[in-house]
Structure 1
């Protein structure tokens, strides 16, 4: 028999019939099931189109995270697949023939009709919530940009391509100033220097500060440890709550726990916590039933929760990663004839994302200790985990990443025997009823 809250009943073949992650399992009432052709010819935003978009972006996200982790030796990875996809689809707007085809294939969005209008609509909707996007193309001085590309860029992607002045100090100041303004001051210095001989630069920055639907009381936040592996821990500031309304389950077939912490603005922080310390992110995600999440998440129940405070930013140049994913031509000889008639190639694609998780409650002056009771369901985010921030209705992956160490500046300490016992007995926590 399967314990309540333990899920091992999903079947990968169900995925063909289930929607993407978006938590509307069926076509909304009042939305007439149109024929494929009629829908493909119209640019109206339908539920089905959003599902297709979410599904494609989830595939892109998993591939992207895998390549970044192969490329990067950093402890934590935080990416915004959505903002990278917006930058690449903006480039696709100016691309033709093989280049355009390859861009859309790598994004897994080749089957989304009216792609640019669809992404433009989604970008506007998300900007109205808690996301700050900054995305722009910069071209070397002297390039004559086609009028239609300028108009479409502003109308759909909200950013006209800019021409660099050719004076690198001035350009650097202008770029950093623009990113700082576009991210509400959260990314003050995006670039330390301009790549040499820049022909075209694709910049992409995003800041997210989620406000929990159920706040954590700051007076319960205190020092605790995060288990790096079977031997070492690092000190962290841990947010704690006694009866936090949490939906979570254990997927026994993969030996992982999955929980959903809702934000106020129709978004959720979904965490995947493998019970063992030796795991491979790609392997976990490739076998993860993301299309089934709506069905798998049980009703929220009062749960004793521990989750570390996090403020991390992650910046990287994506040239090598995207080349590995099949877009080498962007950096050598792409067909970008809809941008300009002159030969043009991408010099650099830069991405930065910042993520902040804190209590978002009123700082209380009196420090009270909170006893962590095991009488109710308990969920501790005190070991390495993978996270995905989803937009709830569409299931669009806004962020994806893995946190191996939320406090990389602290020196790891050897566990004391009590810590070791706590870390290995994950399965003795009572399961959700």
Structure 2
């Protein structure tokens, strides 16, 4: 069956693109769905923490993944990504921002499989799933995973999912089975009272992200019974690497008007380039085939990032993507490295998901009397002469309805001024990462 699916996928790619897909980038993302759930019944299990769990399998027929990617899912993910980024900007507009919309969308899609009633509708609204059935969402995510993981000599990209369940809890079999079938999730029983349990989960995340996300679980509270984790690792080199001998100190102009000396990489060549009255934009490809690129959007000196973000919408984005064309030119780009973290409760609430965080929440397709209590997102990115490396972790915590929400924790082409950037899979259109760099640090 696995071979048949692989063959179908290959045929689909050849029919649609006429070539084999390649992959390359230097990007690591770990999106983590942390589910702390109260279980009302028990499951007898003596399974080792590292062994595959024998949690109940569904007796209902679960449709298998389809062999083609529904473009509606990509459109939904893109629209959600820009909406989320816009909400994040409202609080952090004067800071460096770097988020993974793909990470957050995938984490919430997995959570969506446990939602019911008006809570399911609220999440669908936020994620732009209104025109997609659960079957379409799951099947397309399964296909997307396979497309993104297509190997390339200079690019590594892996996506791994897992469910870590307390031995004292039980869950809806269909919810578990959908995560097995569509997200290839490993389901494991774990003794949550063991002080070493967080380390076991963190070791899995650390392994799947090649050490870029070393810890996602700080402590397992008594009320927690399930962690649903997605980990993505991406690493790729530029198609044309920057010559380190050409890197030198140049001024970078901050929004305040001040300037700072910063290491800037320089390069000349042929690039996919687009320019209009508001900005210049260039696509810097990774790997041999350039299937994934780093996009830099630099507002012109008579404009600003604020003006650019007012136009950062799906319709404009798709138009911009179609306008890039080959052109000879020169690019000077800051070398930078940063960490970023944010609690997304307010942003997701503003997008229509407030009910999922309240005592009106309905996650009956997952278990009984549950709600989301906190969604945390962490990222790391480094751009240098060799390529790009990044990591992201998304944690969704689910608690009993009666639990009080704890307050959100505090969170902290001469490209010589604040700019927007994105890492995009050019074959599927998936935006893996996007960011606002107002002050680079190396």
Moved more, 92-101 or 66-75: 66-75
Q: What aligned pairs does 1:143-292 form with structure 2 within 5 A after superposition?
A: 143-160=169-186, 165-167=191-193, 169-193=195-219, 197-198=223-224, 203=229, 206-229=232-255, 231-241=257-267, 243-252=268-277, 255-264=278-287, 266-276=291-301, 278-280=304-306, 282-286=309-313, 289-292=316-319
How far the C-alpha of 1:251 sits from its partner, in A, is: 1.4
Counterparts in 2 of 1:295 and 1:162: CA distance versus 1, 3 Å: same
Instruction: Give the TM-score of the pair, scaled to structure 2.
Output: 0.70
Higher strand proportion (structure 1 or 2): 2
Counterparts in 2 of 1:216 and 1:87: CA distance versus 1, 3 Å: same
CA distance in 2, matches of 1:235, 1:134: 40
The residue aligned with 1:126 is 148
Candidates 82, 92, 105, aligned match of 2:125: 105
The residue aligned with 2:5 is none
The residue aligned with 2:420 is 386
Candidates 79, 101, 104, aligned match of 1:81: 101
CA distance in 1, matches of 2:159, 2:380: 11
How far the C-alpha of 1:249 sits from its partner, in A, is: 2.5
For the pair 1:55 / 2:78, whether they are aligned, the reply is: no
Cα contact 2:305–2:418 (8 A) shared by 1:
no
Counterparts in 2 of 1:223 and 1:325: CA distance versus 1, 3 Å: same
Counterparts in 2 of 1:109 and 1:73: CA distance versus 1, 3 Å: same
CA distance in 1, matches of 2:418, 2:194: 41
The residue aligned with 1:403 is 437
CA distance in 1, matches of 2:215, 2:79: 31
Secondary structure of 1:131's counterpart equals strand
CA distance in 2, matches of 1:329, 1:139: 25
Q: What aligned pairs does 1:338-417 form with structure 2 within 5 A after superposition?
A: 338-340=365-367, 342-360=368-386, 379-407=413-441
CA distance in 2, matches of 1:181, 1:97: 37
CA distance in 2, matches of 1:287, 1:350: 25
How far the C-alpha of 1:385 sits from its partner, in A, is: 0.8
Counterparts in 2 of 1:73 and 1:132: CA distance versus 1, 3 Å: farther
Counterparts in 2 of 1:360 and 1:268: CA distance versus 1, 3 Å: same
Cα contact 1:179–1:190 (8 A) shared by 2:
yes
Secondary structure of 1:172's counterpart equals helix
For the pair 1:116 / 2:138, whether they are aligned, the reply is: yes
Counterparts in 2 of 1:162 and 1:403: CA distance versus 1, 3 Å: farther
CA distance in 2, matches of 1:331, 1:59: 22
Counterparts in 2 of 1:161 and 1:103: CA distance versus 1, 3 Å: farther
Counterparts in 2 of 1:349 and 1:159: CA distance versus 1, 3 Å: farther
Secondary structure of 1:102's counterpart equals helix
CA RMSD of aligned residues (A): 3.1
Counterparts in 2 of 1:161 and 1:328: CA distance versus 1, 3 Å: farther
Cα contact 2:305–2:420 (8 A) shared by 1:
no
Secondary structure of 1:351's counterpart equals strand
How far the C-alpha of 1:203 sits from its partner, in A, is: 4.9
Deviations 1:259-313 (A, max 9, x none): 1111125111111111246432631313872112343112232x22111222223
For the pair 1:306 / 2:306, whether they are aligned, the reply is: no
CA distance in 2, matches of 1:58, 1:105: 14
Instruction: Give the TM-score of the pair, scaled to structure 1.
Output: 0.71
Secondary structure of 1:337's counterpart equals coil
CA distance in 1, matches of 2:129, 2:253: 38
The residue aligned with 1:414 is none
Counterparts in 2 of 1:126 and 1:219: CA distance versus 1, 3 Å: same
- Structure 1 stretches of 5 or more lacking a match? 1-26, 31-40, 362-378, 410-433
The residue aligned with 2:88 is 68
Q: Which runs of 4+ in 1 moved over 6 A?
A: none
